[in-house]
Chain A
Amino acid sequence: EDKVVQSPLSLVVHEGDTVTLNCSYEVTNFRSLLWYKQEKKAPTFLFMLTSSGIEKKSGRLSSILDKKELFSILNITATQTGDSAIYLCAVRGGSNYKLTFGKGTLLTVNP
């Protein structure tokens, strides 16, 4: 059974701090790893990673994948209160488009 484990489950920081969110996975026939941000509604897409060692960056967010060690990290620098959300990691494997989600990391950024 495919498995995605995120850590920590929750994190409280102050504005301006840098955070690192972790995602490890076990999946057959790995295709890609995706990060999503979920506020009060449905998740919004952040990154899709398919190759090891290539950092993807969008503003203050960046992510990298290690396919040998089966994990990915999501970094957020200079955090803002608007970064407060649940960050979900999902892995696609197998022969279809099915995603397996981790439980998410609840990030709270205090002013």
Chain B
Amino acid sequence: GAVVSQHPSWVICKSGTSVKIECRSLDFQATTMFWYRQFPKQSLMLMATSNEGSKATYEQGVEKDKFLINHASLTLSTLTVTSAHPEDSSFYICSGTGGQLISYEQYFGPGTRLTVT
């Protein structure tokens, strides 16, 4: 299947700082990328959808000024958690679709575990 990578795989930061997470599609062009958040023992919650070259569409309740998403190329999307707080500690997962993938298939990155102290 198609490969999506994320970097870093885990990060610890202090409260008030910003953290950037990268999501790359390695062998396909991801015209659409999705960012999810997963709290312990909870399911994946979609945060936002981004199409290459366009502004991201955020789900209800997700602060667009806090979670900055950039999808400037067909292989890279970034999520920046600004002024992080302990309640932002979570598992962040991206997924991508597009290019030559079978219609509607999404491939997930390995996730980034963020801990805010």
Contact = CB atoms under 8 A, between A and B. Distances in A.
Contacts of A98: 34, 46, 49
Contact of B49 (A88, A90, A96): A96
Interface residues on B, range: 20 to 34
Interface stretch (A58-66, A76-84, A101-109): A101-109
B1 interface: yes
Contacts of A32: 104
Contacts of B95: 42
A45 B34 CA distance: 15
Contacts of A100: 46
A97 B43 contact: no
A27 to B, nearest CB: 13
A93 B97 CA distance: 15
A92 B104 contact: yes
Interface of A: 31-32, 34, 36, 41-45, 48, 88, 90, 92, 96-104
